[in-house]
């Protein structure tokens, strides 16, 4: 993003101000830090870096939320069903992590706006957004309904757009931040019977 220290980091690409696009670079802890290194990470104070992770009830989102919390980020793990966040909260309590769950339906504009607003008001900053929520829809294109295709794009692609639009004003104001979109190798190559999933991942790679 020109004019700010806002980094958008993909699973395979990283773009920073004044630099070209670097492909096939693995993510490192440094990718999640703002360029302002004068602010130390101190638990539960205004200088602690804050992360939001979508789709945190299982899989990549679950592990990412834990990894960020263990790296001293104040982490908000979001999901539709908060009951599924109990395992995360149990680990957070055992390890004394600054990890919290928040209800968020990535398919709904108001849910996204409300969750991001509440997190920003509580934490006073947002430093990292990890767009992870998604699912895999299998079926030949002629067998999938238009609604099924729309639903796949709502969750796999437009969720990222919604969250990016919600957090960017905060990151621009604080002049730092990182956005990570979890994509897939299936956003580069395609196989039969997965056209909807591939289309969403190709779209996310181009975002």
Task: Give me the active site residues, please.
Answer: 197
Close Cβ partners of 54 (under 8 Å, ≥ 6 residues apart) = 61, 78, 79, 104, 106, 130, 131, 132, 133, 159, 163
Structure tokens at 179: 């956005």
For the beta carbon of residue 191, count every other beta carbon within 10 angstroms: 9
Alpha-carbon distance of 37 to 39, in angstroms, equals 5
Question: How buried is 197 (Cβ within 10 angstroms: 0-12 exposed, 13-18 middle, 19+ buried)?
Answer: buried
Q: Which of 35, 107, 47, 41 is nearest to 78 (CA)?
A: 107
């Amino acid at each position: 993003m020109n004019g700010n220290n806002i980094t958008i980091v993909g699973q395979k690409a990283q773009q920073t101000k004044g630099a070209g696009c670097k492909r096939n670079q693995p993510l490192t802890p440094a990718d999640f830090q703002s360029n302002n290194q004068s602010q130390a990470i101190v638990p539960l104070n205004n200088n602690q870096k804050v992360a939001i992770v979508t789709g945190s009830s299982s899989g990549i989102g679950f592990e990412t939320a834990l990894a960020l919390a263990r790296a001293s980020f104040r982490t908000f793990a979001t999901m539709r069903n908060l009951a599924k966040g109990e395992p995360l909260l149990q680990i957070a309590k055992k390890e004394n992590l600054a990890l919290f769950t928040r209800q968020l339906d990535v398919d709904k504009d108001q849910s996204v706006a409300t969750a991001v607003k509440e997190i920003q008001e509580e934490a006073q900053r947002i430093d990292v957004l990890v767009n992870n929520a998604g699912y895999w829809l299998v079926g030949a294109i002629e067998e999938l309904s238009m609604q099924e295709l729309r639903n796949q794009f709502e969750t796999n692609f437009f969720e990222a757009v919604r969250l990016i639009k919600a957090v960017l004003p905060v990151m621009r104001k604080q002049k730092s931040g990182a956005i990570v979109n979890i994509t897939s190798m299936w956003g580069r190559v395609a196989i039969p019977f997965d056209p909807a999933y591939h289309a969403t991942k190709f779209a996310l790679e181009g975002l």
